[in-house]
């Protein structure tokens, strides 16, 4: 006599795990980290370290005090801290990475149930919180290779919006020799990370192609207007 065995989800299983996916994304961000350190100096390593340590510490603390399983081994908190760091200006005060990471983990992520339940990306939520709370610090950027004598300068978009401002060359924009956040200036580094994710099949080619295609079409239409 045949028996039907019923079981709860999940029914579709994969060799991938949360920690493996997070590690792949972290590896993909290494070129952006290297570019940030190269253009803006070793001080950016402190910002990256503060963000990661604060994010991991806050996640472990809230899970400990709420008597839940501590899940820092899944690397999601590490990734949140790293993403936030790469979204910060190179010269931010030390306390912004700490407050930003705490907000992203405690409010945006854990208050909504943890990984998979948060309504938005914790790192981007933290960035929005920091921009609202410390607008000057979050919109003050330094030129690459400025060192200890760093002075504020405009990002390419800010320069473009200012009539008469000198625009960066195409090569500078591609390699990252422009003002901006730690991990956003080098298109080459970001493309290398994206290529890694495509090769590892962490992401599908459809979303990047659709995004770049849409940008290209609207840029063309704008130039013809």
Is the pLDDT at 163 greater than 60? The verdict is: no
Looking at the domain assignment, is residue 8 inside a domain? no
- pTM for the predicted model, two decimal places: 0.86
Looking at the domain assignment, is residue 13 inside a domain? no
Looking at the domain assignment, is residue 5 inside a domain? no
Cα separation of 133 and 159, whole Å? 24
Q: Domain count of the chain? A: 1
Mean pLDDT over 16-44 rounds to 95
Identify any residues that bridge with 90 across adjacent strands, giving them in sequence order: none
Position 53 confidence tier, pLDDT thresholds 50, 70, 90: very high
In contact, 182 and 47? CB cutoff 8 Å:
yes
Residue 103, judged by CB atoms within 10 A of its CB (0-12, 13-18, 19+), counts as buried
Cα separation of 71 and 85, whole Å? 21
Is the pLDDT at 174 greater than 70? The verdict is: yes
Among 133-137, 142-146, 197-201, 216-220, the least confident range: 142-146
Q: H-helix or E-strand containing 198?
A: helix 187-199
Q: Write the pLDDT tens digit of every residue in 5-24.
A: 666 556 566 667 899 999 99
For position 129, what pLDDT does the model report?
A: 97
Is the pLDDT at 168 greater than 80? The verdict is: no
Looking at the domain assignment, is residue 53 inside a domain? yes
Cα separation of 160 and 167, whole Å? 7
Residue 152 is classified by DSSP as E
Looking at the domain assignment, is residue 122 inside a domain? yes
Among 88-92, 104-108, 121-125, 218-222, the least confident range: 218-222
H helix runs in 87-181, sequence order: 95-102, 122-133, 135-138, 156-161, 170-175
Mean pLDDT over 74-101 rounds to 97
As a three-state string, the secondary structure of 14-51 is CCCCHHHHHHHHHHHCHHHHHHHHHHHCCHHHHHHHHH
Is the pLDDT at 117 greater than 60? The verdict is: yes
Domain region containing 131: 18-224
> In 3-state terms, what secondary structure has residue 87?
coil
């Amino acid at each position: 006599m045949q028996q039907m065995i019923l079981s709860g989800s999940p029914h579709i299983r994969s060799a991938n795990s949360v920690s493996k996916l997070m590690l792949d994304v972290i590896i993909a961000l290494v070129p952006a980290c290297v570019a940030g350190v190269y253009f803006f100096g070793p001080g950016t390593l402190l910002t990256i370290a503060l963000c990661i340590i604060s994010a991991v510490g806050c996640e472990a603390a809230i899970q400990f005090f709420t008597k839940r399983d501590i899940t820092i081994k899944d690397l999601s908190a590490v990734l949140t801290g790293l993403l936030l760091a790469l979204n910060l200006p190179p010269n931010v005060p030390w306390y912004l990475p700490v407050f930003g990471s705490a907000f992203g983990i405690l409010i945006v992520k854990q208050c909504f149930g943890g990984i998979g339940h948060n309504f938005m990306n914790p790192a981007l939520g933290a960035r929005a919180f920091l921009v609202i709370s410390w607008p000057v610090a979050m919109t003050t950027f330094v030129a690459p290779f400025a060192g200890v004598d760093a002075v504020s300068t405009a990002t390419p978009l800010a320069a473009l919006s200012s009539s008469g401002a000198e625009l960066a060359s195409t090569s500078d924009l591609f390699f990252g020799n422009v003002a901006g956040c730690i991990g956003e200036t080098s298109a080459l580094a970001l493309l290398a990370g994206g290529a890694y994710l495509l090769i590892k099949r962490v992401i599908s080619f459809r979303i990047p192609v659709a995004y770049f295609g849409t940008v290209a079409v609207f840029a063309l239409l704008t130039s013809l207007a």
